[in-house]
Amino acid sequence: MPLYAGDVTNKSADGKISLERCWFSDGGLTSNFPLHFFDAPLPMRPTFSINLVPATVDIGETDDHGQSLSALKPRSGQTGDQSPWLYIYMPSTNATGIVSAARFNKFEGEKGNIVGFFSALFDTARNWGDTELMAMPGYRDRIVHVGLGADEGGLNLSMPDEMIAAVGARGEKAGELLAGRFAPTPTAKDRLTDPQSGDQVQLTWDNQRWIRYRSLMAALEVVVQRLRRSWVDSEKPAIICGASCPRC
């Protein structure tokens, strides 16, 4: 998609800026999961994200004995005959979901060559910022992870009708989970029920605003401290010395 932009380094004699033809490409080249585009220090309304991941990935929560509590764990090779909930995951408490965003670019076996190495480099350059945000409080609690098989979604443009229906059912359940988590509560005594687990929802909209407020205050404290340090130091006289100075 071409677009013309002004080149301030190339002016005509009358001071006019010349136009250079530019080309737009998919924004996924720089950020494939731009959570920060829909962000605010103190959000007035909830925003949601849907993260599509391989259905065989180990993602979720475990108890003290390592047993899965809630995770994307469908049986390999089976898709349409399983409950859509097996492909859906969201953290259930403020302390969970931290490692769910971890990405490991392995280039072993068939990918263990220079092509696999550069493919991992490209993926890291494209996704490292998004991966960091997915693990942060105030972000991970509004991301629903949906598992897709190797023959589902993406460039699989010839999926049979039953597979399309199965993938659509997962999207429907993901929507139910988001609506159940962030439904409005008229009073503080109201309790929401998680449609996936049947438990009481802990990561409500009020909880997210509280987490975002705490994160904002923590970041603001650091910024103000740096500002104060710079303000105080600016009143001190500058010391200019030569290369022969012992302090240099």
Tens-digit pLDDT profile for residues 115-147: 888 888 888 888 888 888 888 888 888 999 998
How far is Cα 206 from Cα 63, in angstroms, rounded to an integer? 26
Radius of gyration of the chain from Cα atoms?
25
* Dihedrals phi, psi of 118, to nearest 5 degrees: -70, -30
Domain ranges of the chain: 29-232
Residue 241's pLDDT is 62
Residue 95's pLDDT is 84
* Dihedrals phi, psi of 49, to nearest 5 degrees: -135, 145
Task: Label the pairing between strands 143-148 and 49-54.
Answer: parallel
Residue 185's pLDDT is 75
Q: Which run of H or of E encompasses 134?
A: helix 114-134
| Residue 43 falls in which region: left (phi positive, over 0), alpha (psi -120 to 50) or beta | beta
Tens-digit pLDDT profile for residues 205-230: 889 999 999 999 999 999 999 998 88
The burial class, CB within 10 Å (0-12 / 13-18 / 19+), for 134 is: buried
The burial class, CB within 10 Å (0-12 / 13-18 / 19+), for 22 is: exposed
Residue 75's pLDDT is 46
How far is Cα 34 from Cα 193, in angstroms, rounded to an integer? 29
Task: Label the pairing between strands 49-54 and 17-23.
Answer: unpaired
Question: Which amino acid does the sequence have at 29?
Answer: L
- What totals of helices (H) and strands (E) does the chain contain, helices first? 3, 7
> 34, 130 in Cβ contact below 8 A?
yes
Spans of the chain below 50 pLDDT: 74-77
Q: Which run of H or of E encompasses 54?
A: strand 49-54
Residue 102's pLDDT is 66
User: Hey, CA dihedral for 49, 53, 55, 57, is it positive or negative?
Assistant: negative
Residue 110's pLDDT is 66
Distance of CA 4 to the CA centre of its chain: 31
Question: Residue 181's closest CA among 148, 204, 152, 156?
Answer: 204
